[in-house]
């Protein structure tokens, strides 16, 4: 059985006090990282994310992106990483096609939200993982972490859907590639 979260559990168990992430002055041990995943997953559930729902992200690499990548399957949902080089039209198509109702953005991409809404992207919630003040109408990521109870790991594995990656198709149009935990 392949289980994406087994590394998180194992590292928290044997390296709990060792640093897992160090980014922009934020440092978290493996135990803290695991707790943050529990709470982020709880926050996603509080926003209405259900089993197998897509949670999209449009952000640059960071510790919070890393937490997203493990926290989404913890909540029994699937990640939908968007391409930071794409146009509003391409990202809007991917969000709609994946059926993602939640979008995670950072400082670099928060300004794209009004343009996505003009494209009638059906986003129920936008989670802000940036370092500036949270823009109006968005949910602050750290607020989700602090104000939600941790939930148990969904233990998704093997043939459960883990990610939907969008790539340029052979005919020049985007295609969603669905990957399972085993594929990863």
Q: What is the pLDDT of residues 109-135, one digit of tens each?
A: 999 999 999 999 999 999 999 999 999
Write the DSSP string, the chain.
---TTHHHHHHHHHSTTSEEEEETTEEEEHHHHHHHHHHHHHHHHHTT--TT-EEEEE--S-HHHHHHHHHHHHTT-EEEEPPTTS-HHHHHHHHHHHT--EEEE-TTTGGGHHHHHHTT---SEEEE-SSSPPPTT-EEHHHHHHTS---------TTSEEEEEEEE-TTSSEEEEEEETTT-
* CATH number 3.30.565.10 given to 30-156: no
Q: For residue range 29-85, list pLDDT tens digits in order.
A: 999 999 999 999 999 999 999 998 999 999 999 999 999 999 999 999 999 999 999
In tens, the pLDDT along 129-172 reads 999 999 999 999 999 999 999 998 887 778 888 899 998 766 77
């Amino acid at each position: 059985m392949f289980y994406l979260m087994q590394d998180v559990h194992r590292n928290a168990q044997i390296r709990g006090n060792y640093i897992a992430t160090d980014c922009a002055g934020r440092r978290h041990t493996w135990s803290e990282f695991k707790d943050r995943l529990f709470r982020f997953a709880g926050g996603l559930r509080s926003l209405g994310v259900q089993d197998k729902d897509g949670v999209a992200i449009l952000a640059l690499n960071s510790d919070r992106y890393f937490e997203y990548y493990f926290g989404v399957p913890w909540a029994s949902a699937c990640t939908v990483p968007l391409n930071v080089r794409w146009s509003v039209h391409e990202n809007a198509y991917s969000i709609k096609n994946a059926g993602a109702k939640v979008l995670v953005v950072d400082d670099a991409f928060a300004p794209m939200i009004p343009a996505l809404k003009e494209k009638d992207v059906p986003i129920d919630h936008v989670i802000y993982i940036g370092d500036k003040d949270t823009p109006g109408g968005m949910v602050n990521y750290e607020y989700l972490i602090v104000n939600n109870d941790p939930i148990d790991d969904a233990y998704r594995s093997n043939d459960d859907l883990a990610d939907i990656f969008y790539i340029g198709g052979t005919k020049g149009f985007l295609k969603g590639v669905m990957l399972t935990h085993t594929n990863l």
